[in-house]
Amino acid sequence: MPPDVPVRIVAAALAEISGREAVAFAQAQFASDVSTLEPGAWQWSAWLDAQGRVRHVFALLMASPQQLLAWLPLGDAAALAGELARFVLRSKVGIRTPPDWHVLLDTAAPPAPGVLADDSLSGAFALAATPGTRIVLSPDATAAVDDDGRARETLLLAGIHAGLPWLDAPLAGEFVAAALDLGRIGAASLGKGCYPGQEIVARLHYRGGNKRHLRHLVFPASTTTRPGDAVLAGHGDAATRCGRVLYAATTADGIGHALAVIDEGGEADAALTVAGGSQVSTVRAFSTLAR
């Protein structure tokens, strides 16, 4: 459950794109259809390399017609800003990483999907980053700190249940958009114009060929499972890697959950394990749009 009062979970990884051509620049670089955004709205988005591999996954907020904010729940905002800066060229765009912002979790009613809510904290943005969960991105550092880590676990668990493929920095460039199911959450568009990796996204969608899939794993939380850990199929020395964990979290009663990318056919193995040998008891697919 979310905390009774706002709790500061972690520093917010934010990259700001501002200027007269901010929207045009983002539309040309990002996989989502940025042209559909209006001030006070947000969407899931991603930045791909030319080979169609996903470098960053983020919530893209339109704070004003000339200001976009990319929030990376697990990623590296400085890396995204630095990589994007190489493509600014003559565009009327500035890119920076605003310092000292924080991610807060509280019990207030979340705003409608895709909408940024006004918040009592000066300059803050509230959004429903996961279904039923209110996240606040704020420059205010006065909220209580998440001392025991439960607020962070609540956020991660909600992301896992919703199938939100947040990428930890070391996993940048590991997966194509189809493997992360980016189309399901609107983070990769098939109907907009060209963007880096767009041909690969379209080819895998229309011609097939993707052999890796996003899955929700449930297991006894006997060991710590980290982003990038292997998912293994089989027993003992015969076990082979069939997937990788994106991120994981543990419920208050000690049950482990992870979002992972699994090779086609790997999930059918009756002996799936995650780091430390924890036996996977449930493998769930995602069939509905996560908002």
Tens-digit pLDDT profile for residues 71-115: 999 999 999 999 999 998 888 899 999 988 999 888 788 899 899
For 171, phi then psi, to 5°, come to -95, 5
Q: How confident is the model at residue 238, as a pLDDT?
A: 74
CA angle 110, 163, 238 (to 5 degrees): 150
Domain shared by 14 and 158, yes or no: yes
pLDDT digits (tens, 9 = 90+) for 197-238: 888 888 888 887 788 999 999 998 767 889 999 999 887 777
pLDDT band at 290 (very low <50, low <70, confident <90, very high): very low
Domain membership of residue 196 (yes or no) is: no
Beta sheet of 255-263, edge-to-edge order: 278-279, 272-274, 230-233, 240-250, 255-263, 212-220, 282-284
**Do 20 and 145 lie in a common domain?**
yes
H or E element in which residue 80 lies? helix 77-85
Looking at the fold, whether 155 and 254 belong to one and the same domain comes out as: no
- Is 0.95 surpassed by the pTM of this model? no
Residue tagged 């017609």 (tokens): 65
Identify the helix (H) or strand (E) that includes residue 241.
strand 240-250
Q: Please give the single-letter amino acid code of residue 212.
A: R
Is the per-residue pLDDT at 265 higher than 80? no
Q: In this structure, are 37 and 126 located in the same domain?
A: yes
Quote the distance between the C-alpha of residue 12 and its chain's center: 13
Domain at 279, CATH number: 2.40.30.110
In a domain, 139, yes or no: yes
Q: Domain total for the chain?
A: 2
Share of the chain above pLDDT 70, in %: 93
Q: What is the pLDDT of residue 120?
A: 56
Within this chain, do residues 154 and 78 fall inside the same structural domain, yes or no? yes
Boundary-marking domain end, from 162, 193, 227 = 162
- Amino acid residing at 6: P
What CA–CA distances, in Å, run from 206 to 107, 182, 203? 42, 15, 5
Of the residues 123, 146, 162, the one at which a domain ends: 162
Residue scoring higher pLDDT (233 or 122): 233
Same domain as 153, residue 12: yes
pLDDT of residue 281 exceeding 50: yes
- Confidence category of residue 291, pLDDT binned at 50, 70, 90: very low
Average of per-residue pLDDT across 7-25: 93
Quote the pLDDT of residue 119.
Answer: 62
pLDDT of res. 3: 56
Residue 133 CA to residue 131 CA, distance in Å, equals 6
User: C-alpha distances in angstroms, 211 versus 22, 45, 208, 218, 262?
Assistant: 35, 22, 9, 22, 9
Burial call 42-71: b when 16+ CB within 10 Å, e when fewer: bbbbbbbeeebbbbbbbbbbbbeebbbbbb
Q: Which domain holds residue 236?
A: 211-291
Residues 42 and 156 in one domain: yes
CATH number, residue 15: 3.30.70.1400
- Of 288 and 178, more confident: 178
Same domain? For 38 and 129 the reply is yes
Structure tokens at 147: 């001392």
Is residue 134 pLDDT above 80, yes or no?
yes
